[in-house]
Amino acid sequence: MKKTAAKKGNPELIEALNAIEKEKDISKEILLEAIENSLVAACKNEYGKADNIRVNLDRETGEFHVYQDKVVVEEVEDAMLEMSQTEAEVKYPGTGLGETVSIEVTPKNFGRIAAQKAKQVVVQKIREEERKVLFEQYYEKEHDIVTGMVQRYNNGNYNVNIGKIDAVLTKQEQVPSEHFEAHDRIKLYVTEVKDTPRGPRIVISRTHPELVKRLFEAEVAEVKDGTVEIKSIAREAGSRTKMAVWSNDENVDPVGACVGMNGARVNAVVNELRGEKIDIINWSDNPALLIENALSPAKVISVMADPDEKTASVIVPDYQLSLAIGKEGQNARLAARLTGYKIDIKSETQAIEAGELPEDYMDQMNNMEEDEEGYVGEYETDAEDADAQYDNTEDDVEEFEFVETEE
């Protein structure tokens, strides 16, 4: 294959691409390929078509060559694509029918026009690659927490800078009781990272239950290394979270590990969540025991659980009924979400009247003492209806597995 003398090199181009690769983390090879493609497109104006045009750009010197590939045929029908066998024998001895010859056709006036075209395409490619790199960086943070700085409040939403990009904390993802000022630093949960033509769109949240989980991972080494698992979590953002934990090491108390010395660990999470209360209970594969723990701090007399129907009947002392239900039903509602069970709560008196307990039951249980396990934040109670039912279906109950929460 015969090639004419090369054009003068362009070391400045290579130096510029090296700098772009280093500063913007964009592959030099990708940029070089983009330049070659842009030069092929520029050649189309010269030759009418670019199907058989190749541009080779030297990766070291920056010099380029334009080649036109032609197939050797007996009779030429398209001079742009074909070369006669007679001409090929003269110019490229030894070339047979059906073979392809490459002819350098670099135009003398190609430089300025090609450079302008190349610049436009390279700038576009740089933008595309920057968006791609940015998307990949933040896609790795999906379902994780990031630290952001509040920029401003605008029409009910907060603009938050999370590094190389700004995200919007929408009203739907805000805790109603939380209010931020410009330059406040806050932790956020990344629920989704979307790739758009204008760059990655980051969906952030302060209400997601996983935010609490990630905060505990950051504070509790045993959670981060898997010794302690957060099996389930139920959250009413800004008010209270219930979290069930389990230890894979019998020598490690899961509740104690999450609470920390003098409550240091759980308080760190509570502070980040601006006072949201957190209840931490022991997980159990026994549904009845799990439900009993979930209703903490209320004491429970008995739990009858049906794993198939996901229903449970709970009896509590008369004086514990309002505590079991909680203010506006919150304690029972969170317990139902945490366990995934529909919970029917009755007092001793109601259970006796319904025939679920013997009439002399209260005399028998005067000396009964129950262990109370777990960590419970301050509780507010509401003397609601004594017979309350909390469902784990539809909007009333959500079930979260292996989730940690923070406050």
> What domains lie within the chain, and their CATH numbers?
11-134 (3.30.1480.10), 140-205 (2.40.50.140), 209-396 (3.30.300.20)
Distance in angstroms (rounded) separating the CA atoms of residues 205 and 201: 13
| Res 388: pLDDT | 42
381 has a pLDDT exceeding 50: no
**In the chain, pLDDT over 90 holds for what percent of residues?**
50
Our measurement of the distance from residue 377's CA atom to the centroid of its chain's CA atoms, rounded to an integer in Å, reads: 29
For residues 336 and 395, give the distance between their C-alpha atoms in angstroms, rounded to a whole number.
12
Percent residues over pLDDT 70 in the chain:
82
- Residue 345 CA, chain-centre distance (Å), reads 38
Give the E-state strand segments of 76-227 in sequence order: 82-84, 100-104, 145-154, 157-161, 166-169, 185-196, 199-205
pLDDT at 96: 86
Tokens 């913007």: give the residue: 24
Q: How far is CA 145 from the centre of its chain?
A: 8
The amino acid occupying position 323 is: L
Q: What is the mean pLDDT of residues 344-362?
A: 82
Average pLDDT (180-190) is 95
Mean pLDDT along residues 226-234: 97
Residue 174 identity (one-letter amino acid): Q
Q: H or E segment at 82?
A: strand 82-84
Give the type of residue at 402.
F
Report cis status (omega within 30 of 0) of the bond before 358: no
For 327, half-sphere exposure in the C-beta direction (CA atoms, 13 angstrom radius) is 7
